[in-house]
Amino acid sequence: MQLPSLVRERVEPSEPAKVSDAPASAPLQLGNRFIVDAVDKVGPAVVRIDTVKRVINPIGGLFGSSPSIRQQQGQGSGFITRSDGVIITNAHVVEGTNEVSITLPDGRNFNGKVLGSDPLTDIAVVKVVATGLPVAPLGDSSKVRPGEWAIAIGNPLGLDNTVTAGIISATDRTNAIGEGQRVPYIQTDAAVNPGNSGGPLINAGGQVIGVNTAIRQAPGAGLSFAIPVNLARQIAAQILETGRVSHPYIGVRLQALTPQLAREINATASKCRLPEINGVVIVEVLEGSPAEKGGLEPCDLIEQLDGKQVGNPTEVQLAVDRGKVGKDLLVRVRRGDQSLNLTVRPAELSRDS
C-alpha cells in the first residue's frame, strides 16, 4: 500500500519581500517570430550557474591513493528576477555550496551568494552584487493551459543559451517525479537536459511561467517538468524575507480509497467501516500532531478542507499547502455514519524532519 508522506504546507509572509522588479508590459503578440521575440525578451536574464562542491572521499588518503576531500564541479541555469541581482534557480543546482559563479549571456561574470534554498520545492535564491541587470518578466502560472506554447531556455550539457520549444502537456502533475510531492508541476514536451535545471520555462508572450527542474526519460521521447512560477515566487519571497522557508504539517498519512479497497478494509479491519466509494482515508495520525489534537482519527474519510471538496491525497496536500502555520484549517470528515466538522491548527515542520 503506497502511503504519501506527512502533509506539509508553505507559509507566505504577511508582507512578502519583493521578488521581481520587471517593468509592467503587455504580453507579446503572436506572429511568425513569436519564439524569437519571446527569447529576445527573456534570454538576456537567463544565467549559467557554475558550482564547486567539497566532497569527502571515504577511501581518500589510504595508501596515498587520492585526496580525502575532492572538489566536484556542477552546472545549472537560473534567471534574474530583480535588477539588483536576485536570481531564482533550483535547490539541487546549488546544493552543498554557499557560493557560485554566475555568467550572463553578455559574458559578464559575478560571484553569487546562495541566500537560501528549499529542498521540498526545489527552489533556491542566489544574489550577486550588481545593478541594472536585465530581468525576466514573471507571468501567472495559474493561467497556464495544456496546448499552449512552452519555451525552455538554459544551459543543457554545458551548451550556453540553448532554446527549445514545445507545448504545455499537462498541469498539476503532483505525482510526476516521486511520492509525496508538494509541487503541482507543469509538464511539457520541450526538450530539457541536465544543465537546464533552474532555467525558465516561458510562454509565447515572453513571460516566465515555470522553473525547469526534472525530466523523465522514455523510449523515443522524454517528459519535462517545471515548478510553477507562482509557487517559485512564494518560496523566493520567504527566502528573501527570512533566509528560510517554513513548512507546516498536520501529521497524517493518507491513502486513496477505492470501492475495492473499502471492501477489503471492511472485511479485515474490525475498527474501520468505510463507504465503498472513491476518496481519501486517513491511515495513521501521528501522536501529538496537530491532527491528533484536532480530533482526526485513523479510518476517517476526509471530505472537505476549508469548505472545498477533496477526492484524493493530492488534493488534501494542496489544500493544506494553501494554508498557514497557526491558522485554523476546517476539516470535514466522515466517521462511520456521521459527518463531523473538526478544526486543525497546522504546526511548523521541523527542518530535521
76 DSSP β-pair partners: 49
Question: What DSSP designation does 143 have?
Answer: G
128: Cβ contacts below 8 Å, ≥ 6 apart: 85, 87, 102, 110, 111, 112, 113
276: Cβ contacts below 8 Å, ≥ 6 apart: 259, 262, 263, 266
Whole-number pLDDT of residue 315: 83
State the cell numbers at 233.
Answer: 515566487
Catalytic residue (choose from 20, 117, 197, 289): 197
Q: Rounded to 5 degrees, what angle do the CA atoms 143, 146, 147 make?
A: 115
Q: Are 229 and 329 in contact (CB under 8 A)?
A: no
How far, in Å, CA of 6 to CA of 221, rounded? 33
Query: Does 66 participate in catalysis according to the annotation?
Result: no
Among 90, 86, 68, 178, CA closest to 127: 86
Q: Could you tell me the end-to-end alpha-carbon distance of the chain, in angstroms, rounded to an integer?
A: 22
Whole-number pLDDT of residue 334: 93
Catalytic residue (choose from 83, 92, 101, 306): 92
**CATH H-level, domain 45-134+235-242: superfamily:** Trypsin-like serine proteases (2.40.10.10)
Whole-number pLDDT of residue 2: 38
State which CATH number among 3.40.50.1000, 2.30.42.10, 3.30.2310.20, 3.20.20.70 fits the domain covering 248-348: 2.30.42.10
Q: Give residue limits of the domains in the chain.
A: 45-134+235-242, 141-232, 248-348
How far, in Å, CA of 212 to CA of 163, rounded? 13
Query: Does 122 participate in catalysis according to the annotation?
Result: yes
Whole-number pLDDT of residue 62: 53
Look up the pTM and report it: 0.81
pLDDT means over runs of 10, the chain (353 residues): 41 66 72 87 95 69 58 88 97 91 95 94 95 96 95 87 93 71 86 89 95 77 88 94 88 92 86 89 93 93 91 84 86 92 89 60
Domains 45-134+235-242 and 141-232 share a fold: yes
Whole-number pLDDT of residue 3: 38
Whole-number pLDDT of residue 191: 87
CATH number of 141-232: 2.40.10.10
Whole-number pLDDT of residue 353: 56
Catalytic residue (choose from 50, 77, 118, 122): 122
State the cell numbers at 113.
Answer: 551568494
Whole-number pLDDT of residue 125: 97
Among 19, 9, 39, 31, CA closest to 120: 9
Query: Does 197 participate in catalysis according to the annotation?
Result: yes
